[in-house]
Structures are given as C-alpha cells and as structure tokens.
C-alpha cells in the first residue's frame, strides 16, 4: 500500500471507531438524526412558535447578538440496579424504556458517554429539589453500574467518577451543594444510589458531609425545616427522612425515625446549606 492509502485507511478506521459504528451503528444513527432535528430548532431565526403563544397585541422578533447555550447546574448520581454496563447501555437504547443518562460508569472504571452534556437526559423523572421540579433540564445524569443491593463500590469506579465530576464542576461551574442523588430528588420513588461513598465525594468537593465533631442541635430545632432548607421535598416527611438517611446515615434506612445521633448529623448538614 502506498503511504497515502495507508494514511486514508488509518483515518477511515479512526473515524469508524470514534463514531461508535459497528455494534452500535443503528442507535448512533438515531442519535445523529435527533441531534440534527434539535440543531434545526436552535438555528431558527426568526424564531417561530414562542412569541406567537404570548397573549399580547403588539409583538415583534428582533434578534440579539449576545447569547449562549444553557448549561447544566446539577449532577445527579444513580445506581443502575442492573448487572452490567452492557445491560444498562441496552436499557438506554430501548425506546420503550425511554430513559437515558449522560454518562454510565462501569465497575472497572470505564466511562461511557451516551448524551451530550448540553442535551436533556431522561434520568431524573418526577421529583423536586428546592423548588426545581425539572432536574432533567438542569442536571447531568450519571449512572453507576451497581446492582444496588449487595455490590461493593470498587475504588477504580469511584476514582473514575471523581475524574468525571472534576471535569463537570469545572466546565459548568457547578456549586458543591448541587451534587445529589436520585433519592434526594425523588424520595417517594427512589433509593439510589445506596450505600454510596458520599463522604469520599464530599472530601473531593462534590456535595457535603457532616463534621467529625457533632454539635447538639439547639432547642426547637425543626428537622422538617432543616430538610426543606437542604433541598428535600418534605410533603411526604417520612420519605424525605428516609432519603436523608440513605444519603448521610446509611443505616436503618427503612424507618423514618431520627435518633439523637441522626439529628446531630442533620443539624451539621443543615448548617452547610445556610
Ligand atoms: Zn436513579
């Protein structure tokens, strides 16, 4: 083979492998088609279908020259409750399941990206954090391959997650408080991720953990108010308490009881959100 044909063969190989052809050629094609449709919406000018819906007599489109794309401001962490990364990829290719996350991390630390950071993944579902009821629109979803019950969290997987979080935090200037779990957002429906090393993450600057030395909460300390200030939806208080326990206490998570130690932990976390 001549030098230039070797080069073009290598280039073809690189293009082929970097765009995920072969095994995933079909889903890759669907992704591209969807992305193209969204690009059409973004490039439209004048914009149709927005101003028209506003009930006012005098309306006009005049394009500005200063704008950018919206950025994620939260990261939501999940466990897949499945048995392998491949199984999760398969789920995220199922139109019927209708779900996706931006990233999936395998037990071996492999990071798979499935959705552009700028797109809205379908991982959060119904829930509420603070007053935000559409975390899909404002968050990056990360699924960690873990069966959710007995699997340990391998160091190599957590290390990969920390690298990914470092990139996201820096790229989108995401506040430390905005790294949350699925159960924090949807306490009545979800318990993921469970038994999760949140302390390690907090030490790296993603989310908070409580102080080693725990103070007694002051007289009249209201757990409901504290949970609400942290961000929990307290409409179902028992569910909010259980979600808090899955995140910070990590034992006795099936009861909504807060013992003396738990209350100290809640008070410590609450103070970080003031
Ligand atoms: Zn989840």
- Please give the DSSP secondary-structure letter assigned to residue 245: I
CA of 189 to the centre of ligand 1 (A): 9
pLDDT above 70 for 6: no
Distance from the CA of 82 to the center of ligand 1, in angstroms?
A: 11
Distances (CA, A) of 192 to 10, 52, 76, 151, 181: 43, 42, 10, 13, 7
Pairing state between β 179-181 and 111-113 = unpaired
What is the pLDDT averaged over residues 244-273?
Answer: 97
- How far away, in angstroms, is 187 Cα from ligand 1 center? 11
Residues of the domain holding 232: 223-272
User: Which residues does residue 118 pair with via DSSP β-bridges, in sequence order?
Assistant: none
Residue 200 lies in a domain: no
pLDDT of residue 64: 97
Span 101-117, average pLDDT: 98
Percent of the chain exceeding pLDDT 90 equals: 91
pLDDT band at residue 4 under the 50/70/90 scheme: low
Do the domain assignments include residue 36?
yes
CA of 172 to the centre of ligand 1 (A): 22
Distance 143 CA to ligand 1 centre (A): 7
Q: Are 22 and 13 in contact (CB under 8 A)?
A: no
**Within-domain flag for 252:** yes
Positive or negative, the CA dihedral 232, 237, 240, 246 is positive
Quick check: is 146 in a domain? no
Tell whether 135 is covered by a domain.
no
Compute the distance from residue 204 Cα to the ligand 1 centre, in Å.
22
Higher pLDDT, 13 or 87: 87
Output the CA 234–ligand 1 centroid distance in Å.
19
**Ligand 1 geometric centre to CA of 79 (Å):** 6
- Least confident window among 15-29, 105-119, 147-161: 15-29
> What is the pLDDT, as a whole number, of residue 172?
98
Better pLDDT: 237 or 10: 237
Mean pLDDT along residues 12-27: 68
Which among 41, 67, 93 is the end of a domain?
67
pLDDT digit string (tens) for 83-96?
999 999 999 999 99
Quote the percentage of the chain above a pLDDT of 70: 92
CA of 12 to the centre of ligand 1 (A): 38
Which of 49, 67, 85 is a domain's end point?
A: 67
258 lies in some domain: yes
| In-domain check, residue 34 | yes
How far does residue 181's CA lie from ligand 1's centre (Å)?
A: 8
Domain boundary among 18, 51, 67: 67
Q: Tell me, in angstroms, the distance from the centre of ligand 1 to residue 193's CA.
A: 7
188 Cα–ligand 1 center, Å: 12
Confidence of residue 133 (pLDDT cuts 50, 70, 90): very high
- How much distance in Å is there from the Cα of 142 to the middle of ligand 1? 9
Residue 202: inside a domain, yes or no? no
User: What's the confidence (pLDDT) of residue 237?
Assistant: 98
The domain tally of the chain equals 2
Q: What is the pLDDT of residues 33-63, one digit of tens each?
A: 999 999 999 999 999 899 999 999 999 999 9
Q: What is the CB neighbour count within 10 angstroms for residue 10? A: 10
pLDDT digits (tens, 9 = 90+) for 170-183: 999 999 999 999 99
At 159 the pLDDT is 98
What is the Å distance from ligand 1's center to 44 Cα?
A: 34
> What would the pLDDT profile of 72-84 be if each residue is shown by its tens digit?
999 999 999 999 9
């Amino acid at each position: 083979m001549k030098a230039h044909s070797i080069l073009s063969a290598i280039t073809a190989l690189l293009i082929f492998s970097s765009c995920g052809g072969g095994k995933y050629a079909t889903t890759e094609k669907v992704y591209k088609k969807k992305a193209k449709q969204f690009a059409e919406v973004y490039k439209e000018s004048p914009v149709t279908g927005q101003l028209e819906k506003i009930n006012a007599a005098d309306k006009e489109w005049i394009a500005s020259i200063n704008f950018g794309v919206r950025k994620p401001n939260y990261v939501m962490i999940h466990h897949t409750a499945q048995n392998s990364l491949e199984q999760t990829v398969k789920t995220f290719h199922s139109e019927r399941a209708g779900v996706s996350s931006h990233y999936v991390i395998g037990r071996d630390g492999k990071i798979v990206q499935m959705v552009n950071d700028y797109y809205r993944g379908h991982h959060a579902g119904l829930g509420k954090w603070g007053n935000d009821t559409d975390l899909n629109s404002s968050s990056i979803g990360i699924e960690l391959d873990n069966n959710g019950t007995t699997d340990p969290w391998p160091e190599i997987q957590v290390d990969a997650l920390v690298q990914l979080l470092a990139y996201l935090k820096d790229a989108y200037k995401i506040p430390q408080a905005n790294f949350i779990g699925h159960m924090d957002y949807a306490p009545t429906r979800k318990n993921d991720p469970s038994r999760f090393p949140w302390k390690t993450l907090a030490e790296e600057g993603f989310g908070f953990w409580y102080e080693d030395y725990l103070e007694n909460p002051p007289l009249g300390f209201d757990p409901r108010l504290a949970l609400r200030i942290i961000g929990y939806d307290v409409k179902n208080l028992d569910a909010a308490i259980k979600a808090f326990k899955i995140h910070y206490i990590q034992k006795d998570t099936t009861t909504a009881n807060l013992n003396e130690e738990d209350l100290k932990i809640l008070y410590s976390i609450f103070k970080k959100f003031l």
